[in-house]
Amino acid sequence: LDKAHRDLHGRFADSIRDDERLTKPAPEILDMGCGFGKSTRPFWQTFPDSHIIGIDLAAPCLRVAASEAAQDARRHMIFRQADARQSGCADESVDLVTSTMLLHEMPDAARRDMFAESWRVLRPGGVAVHLDFWLLPTPFDRFIMEGHSKRNNEPFMKALFDSDLDGDLRAAGF
């Protein structure tokens, strides 16, 4: 598929591939909150020689992710049960840390801990990109998203909208 028709996860991986700070052709990647691997697979496609670790709290989702990765012979992609606040990765061992639609699933303190963990595992010059809802262009967009969060039992989305992400990232070291 061409770029315009790739899903959100594919376009997200494409946008990161073009980041000039990622100079390695095969960066070490940590995908936090990977679920069943839908966010992780496009990174393997974008950086096929990379070693990628997908972590999530949900063991059943990780089994699906690992099974699908094994069918595609993606031997450089592993899935491990871990909390994004304590990934199990060594200090400064990762070139790229990502998450997709995870921030709005976490209370403020957990999100700040996740940012600190992202900073801890990044090598100097590494890149962290956490994709989620936050900068909504209009008050109507916020109204729509807050309605979505109520209907879908997303208790932390409003807190995310009200948070100081820039300040939280600076406090973590970014």
pLDDT in tens, 53-91: 999 999 999 999 998 888 876 668 899 999 999 999 999
DSSP 53-98: EEEES-HHHHHHHHHHHHHTT-TTEEEEE-BTTB--PPTT-EEEEE
What rounded mean pLDDT belongs to the chain?
A: 88
> CA–CA separation, 65 vs 62, rounded Å?
5
pLDDT of residue 4: 54
> CA–CA separation, 67 vs 55, rounded Å?
15
pLDDT at 5 over 80: no
Percent of the chain at pLDDT exceeding 90: 53
The 8-class DSSP code of residue 4 comes to G
> Which has more pLDDT, 135 or 42?
42
> CA–CA separation, 98 vs 112, rounded Å?
15
pLDDT in tens, 93-129: 999 999 999 999 999 999 999 999 999 999 999 999 9
pLDDT of residue 148: 82
pLDDT at 1 over 60: no
pLDDT of residue 44: 84
pLDDT of residue 48: 84
Mean pLDDT, range 136-155, rounded to an integer: 84
Mean pLDDT, range 46-51, rounded to an integer: 87
Two structure tokens written together for 101: 């639609």
Angstrom distances, CA of residue 39 to CA of 35, 52, 141, 151, 163: 8, 11, 24, 24, 24
pLDDT of residue 73: 67
